[in-house]
Amino acid sequence: MAVSTTASGGAGRANSPTRAVVLLTGPAYVWLTIAVLLPLLAMFYFSFLTEAPIAGRVGELTLEQYREFLEHGFYTTLILRSLKLGATVAFFCFLLGFPCAYVLAKTIKGRWREALFLLVIIPFWSNALVRVFSWTMVLRGNGLLERSIDFVIPGAGSLGLMFTYPAVVIGLVHSYLPYMILTCYISLQAIDDDLIEAARSLGAKRLTILRRLILPLAMPGIVAGAVLIFVPVIGSFMEPRILGGRHGTFIGTIIEDQFTAVFNWPLGAALSFILLACVLVIFALFAPVLKRAA
Amino acid sequence: MNRYLTAASAALAIFAFTAAPSAADTIRVLNWQGYGTDEDWSLEMFEEKTGHKVEHEYFNSEQEMLTKLRTNPGTYDVVLINSAFTPQAAKEGLIVPIDTAKIPNAADLTPEMRNNPNLVIDGKTYGVAWVWGATSFAINTEKFDKAPETIEVLWSGDFADKVGWRDDAVEAVQMAAIALGQDINNPSDLDAIREKLHALKPQIRTFWTSENDWNQYMSSGEFDVAVYWSGSASRSANNFGLPVEFVVPKEGAIGWLDGLSVPKDAPNTDAAYEFINWMIDPEFYVKWDTDVGAPASANAKAMAGLPEDAFNRTVLGNSAVTSKLKFMGPIEDDMREKMLELWQETKTFYQK
């Protein structure tokens, strides 16, 4: 940084755009390097050690952690399970979020839009743990949901949602829905209303407009939302643990166990990087589709 | 102006006199939340007696406690360690030997507890025996006509999807080992244990992680029978009025002994000793068990001070019960890893 500023300072005004770029983006990149890359590199190094070199312990270099993964089939099972969870949550976020974003972007104007936006964003202002625990009150046996249903249809019986896979999906969809709404909203708003008018005047039906015009044009937002949701969901551990109970074991909870319950940081780190590799492979495979969409 | 100064210095002087019966320190205690050391009334009494203030930090598993000791040296003055982990903590140099001569109440400890081989290593006391108890299971008495005699009730189809379990590898393996009559610290047949734990699949409602969790699940009817700790069971019954009964089945139960230790580089060792002395004081223990509910004390005098009908005298004071306990000892690292892997594999099996 210091070098580049003096260099551009000597070159005078001609270089000032470079200088501006360095000055404006520099702090962010320095911060990212320190806050993201360094800890990540340390974890990557840990994943090749026999034990975490903390408090006077010395770890030796080894591939044992990665072999551990290959030796036990259940880690793979759990990664697949987490990937499936990520896809499911992203899909339901799209199903619920896209219509909502469409209405916000195209139908509602003015003050109502602000009010509705607030409703979308408010959950973001609350603590994630509080949100999940409030879901336990709703979903548990004889909880708010079952009592409300029983009020409408007496004797409807128990749903038994708590501590199931659907409970985890419900909690996660609620947590991540705003991402989908916001990204879809931005790309939907950018669609010129005249385009839709034109299609309509040429006799296109509503479904055709949606399928051939709006969905393709909104694809960058949908893809961005899906990626933003998919990645954190496959590593999630809090929601599955609290809402999933016995059905809440995913690769995220296993990694958390390695760090907090048994102090096996190397294995936890190795599993994290294997998961990261899986994500990268998936994105590489879908790169052509993603590129076209974006 | 002058008047204000005089008033201020007078106030300072008063403050200095009242706050200093001896050298007043603030000590940091590392423990499970709600586990005796952090009772408000006790801390007030302790501060009155010694002038020391007590702050707390909590952990949710023994491994987390060890992690905290490793990563924050010189932070804590007193740490609660399950005696099964004391040898490991001592070997790693996380805790230092205690001068029991400076802890007068230590003389009243039951000799078997005080000299437990996990606490006294090479003749040095690394942990002062504090309380002990059993890990077994508790039942909702409204769902049972009479208390079951066997641990097999956890595997009984009558309670499918109504069993509470703790997400802890060692405890899970040890409970299965008891059901199968194996050594809990070094089980001989892990495959049989794996099969036994797999058989729990239709039984387990969910995993609980804290006493608070357990009470909520039990009171909302999610659990009919759940793995639990004896001291916690008496608390659930006494404090929260839950219809709960602790069961030590004929197969036996896991016995444990908790000790109080002083971490390496503790900032206030003398105050730490005074606190440990207070923790094994009969005055503290009797009030703790009577008002709140506690595990059994390692101090014989404290146990003798309990009312005749106290849980700790009727259930744990009974030698027929104590003879069924299988005490937790240190577990070899590779055995612990095998237990964890077995448990994780089992949890994955539960998903299918």
Q: Could you name the CATH architecture of B133-253+328-351?
A: 3-Layer(aba) Sandwich (3.40)
Is residue B112 packed enough to be buried (19+ CB in 10 Å), middle (13-18) or exposed (0-12)?
Answer: exposed
> Which residues have a Cβ under 8 Å from the Cβ of B197 and sit 6 or more positions away?
B172, B173, B176, B342, B343, B346
Among A65, A250, A257, A265, pick the best mutation site for testing chain B contact (most B Cβ within 10 A). Answer: A257
Q: What is the mean pLDDT of residues B113-128?
A: 91
Sign of CA dihedral B171, B173, B174, B180: positive
SS (H, E, C) A135-172: HHHHHCCCCHHHHHHHHHCCCCCCCCCCCCHHHHHHHH
Q: What is the mean pLDDT of residues B300-329?
A: 80
C-alpha to C-alpha distance for A234 and A85, rounded to whole angstroms: 7
The C-alpha angle with vertex B169 and arms to B165 and B172, in degrees rounded to 5, equals: 45
Task: Spell out which chain B residues touch chain A, with contact meaning CB-CB distance below 8 angstroms.
Answer: 60-61, 63-64, 66-67, 70-71, 73, 92-94, 165, 168-169, 204-207, 220-222, 336-337, 340-341, 344-345, 347-351
Contact A246 B204 (CB under 8 A): yes
Q: Could you name the CATH architecture of B2-132+256-319?
A: 3-Layer(aba) Sandwich (3.40)
Q: How many residues are given for chain B?
A: 352
pLDDT truncated to tens, each residue of chain A (294 aa)? Answer: 344 444 444 444 556 788 888 888 888 888 888 888 888 998 999 999 887 776 566 778 888 889 989 888 899 999 999 999 999 999 999 999 999 999 999 888 888 888 888 888 887 788 888 888 889 888 877 778 888 888 888 876 677 788 889 999 999 999 999 999 999 999 999 999 899 899 999 988 888 998 999 999 999 899 999 999 999 999 999 999 889 888 889 999 989 888 877 778 899 999 999 999 999 998 888 888 777 765
Contact A77 B348 (CB under 8 A): yes
Establish whether domains B2-132+256-319 and B133-253+328-351 are of one fold.
yes
Residue among B235, B272, B248 nearest B75 (CA): B272
Query: Which positions in chain B touch A141 (Cβ < 8 Å)?
Result: 220-222
What are A166-199's pLDDT values in tens digits? 999 999 999 999 999 999 999 999 999 899 899 9
Find, in chain A, the residue whose alpha carbon is nearest to that of B217.
Answer: A140
Query: Which positions in chain A touch B61 (Cβ < 8 Å)?
Result: 260-261
Residue A275, classed as helix, strand or coil, is: helix
Q: Where are the domains of chain B?
A: 2-132+256-319, 133-253+328-351
What are B127-184's pLDDT values in tens digits? 999 998 899 999 999 999 988 999 999 999 999 989 999 988 999 999 999 999 999 9
pLDDT band at B228 (very low <50, low <70, confident <90, very high): very high
What are A69-104's pLDDT values in tens digits? 988 889 999 999 999 999 999 999 999 999 999 999
Token pair 């190094």 is found at: A45
Q: Which CATH superfamily is A64-293 part of?
A: MetI-like (1.10.3720.10)
What are B59-107's pLDDT values in tens digits? 988 888 998 999 899 999 999 999 989 999 999 999 999 999 999 999 9
Gap from A153 CA to chain B (nearest CA, Å) = 22
Gap from A246 CA to chain B (nearest CA, Å) = 5
Residue B207, classed as helix, strand or coil, is: strand
Q: How far is CA B9 from CA B15, B17, B38, B51, in A?
A: 10, 12, 35, 22
Contact A81 B351 (CB under 8 A): yes
Q: Which is more confidently placed, B256 or B319?
A: B256
